Amino acid sequence: MFQNRQVTRWILLAALLLLSALSAILLQQAQSLRPAPPALSTPVETSYSTEPILPIPLEIPLDNNKVALGERLFQDTRLSSNNQTSCYSCHNLAAGGADRRRHLRTGQQDYGMTNTLTVFNASFNYKIGWDGRFASVLDHLDDPVNNPSALGSTWEEIVARLAQVPEYKQSFRQMYPDGLNVTTLKDALTVYQESLYTPNSRFDQFLRGNKAALTATEQAGYDLFKSYGCVSCHQGVNVGGNLFQRFGVMGDYFADRGDITPADLGRFNATQDEADRHVFRVPSLRNVALTAPYFHDGSAQTLEQAITIMGTYQLGRSLSETEVDQIAQFLRSLTGEYQGKSLEE
């Protein structure tokens, strides 16, 4: 009896396997007779996993009420001790999220003697600041608030001033169980800065499969950008901002430029480690066409000049005018959108 059951099971299993094989053959024949699908008139999304640069996410989930509150705070001069300066004073969104000056200036004093880094896409950076002394956007907030050359205030003073504004008191009570305090104030400013991302650049569209988004010259520039090794420092979602590098790998930029200042010491100022002398956090190249002048010292007035200098001192290459133009055109394709509108001027 037991042996008969076993034989029956094996026969049924064999029959099922044979039926599966016949079904697969019939399905393959049917598919071969099916007409080919028409060519698509619109580009399809393709994998960009093999590319060294990743597109910025099209959407990042954030609390819109906190974003709106943080935006008001970002533009409010009451954050400064003299009621004249706001975060927006140095990070103007209409100027690429920077100030387009060689050095950041507030009033009659130089603040840091370095070129202002853009606030756009700052939350994607590995560290904040040219010397990378700040771990995050949140960690960075204390510096401009406390610095006498920037806002020149304290968090406690700011909370006291804002507490006199009924609209602020009400907004904080609605969004935070603890209402207005130093922690919630910092959180609102941080959430707002996290909202300053600029997706859907033409290059991002290219990465997502729309090969017509870039011109032939821009694609040639991207090929040079990769083949010459620019992507060894400028990669990832922010096209940089995720590592440190010495300025002058293939030549002594500072000796050739002369007039060395403390700001030229870079990360050494944060670590006091001799190995970090003239080492800087690699800047993001997102929206780079909008944020001239370039480098920590603001010495390059144009994108083409910056590319030529980088070729000489970082790559050890003397780039031709054609190569410089191709790379510059590629970099201009990195200009994205903010709140659905292109930042291109």
Q: Higher model confidence: residue 162 or residue 110?
A: 162
Out of 138, 159, 194, a domain closes at 194
Over residues 249-297, the pLDDT tens digits come to 999 999 999 999 999 999 999 999 999 999 999 999 999 999 999 999 9
Show the CA angle centred on residue 342, arms to residues 340 and 344, nearest 5°: 170
**Whether 229 and 160 share a structural domain:** no
The DSSP letter of residue 82 is T
Q: How confident is the model at residue 104 (pLDDT cuts 50, 70, 90)?
A: low
**Whether 142 and 239 share a structural domain:** no
Please tell me whether the peptide bond between 52 and the residue prior to it is cis, using omega within 30 degrees of 0: no
Show the 3-state SS of 257-275: HCCCCHHHHECHHHHCCHH
Out of 194, 223, 239, a domain closes at 194
Q: Which domain holds residue 149?
A: 64-194
**Whether 220 and 116 share a structural domain:** no
Choose the weakest-confidence range: 17-21, 98-102, 252-256, 330-334. Answer: 17-21
Q: How confident is the model at residue 8 (pLDDT cuts 50, 70, 90)?
A: very low
Show the CA angle centred on residue 253, arms to residues 247 and 258, nearest 5°: 130
298: nearest Cα among 255, 261, 252: 261
**Whether 114 and 226 share a structural domain:** no
**Whether 206 and 276 share a structural domain:** yes
Give the pLDDT score at 111.
Answer: 41
> What's the total number of domains in the chain?
2
Query: Domain containing 280 — which CATH number?
Result: 1.10.760.10
Out of 133, 164, 194, a domain closes at 194
159: nearest Cα among 179, 177, 181: 181
Over residues 11-26, the pLDDT tens digits come to 443 443 343 334 333 3
**Whether 285 and 329 share a structural domain:** yes
Residue 213 has pLDDT above 90, yes or no: yes
**Whether 142 and 231 share a structural domain:** no
Percent with pLDDT over 90 in the chain: 79
**Whether 207 and 336 share a structural domain:** yes
Residue 5 located in a structural domain: no
Q: Higher model confidence: residue 87 or residue 103?
A: 87
Are residues 55 and 48 in contact, defined by beta-carbon separation less than 8 angstroms?
A: yes
**Whether 336 and 214 share a structural domain:** yes
Rounded mean pLDDT of 114-130? 95
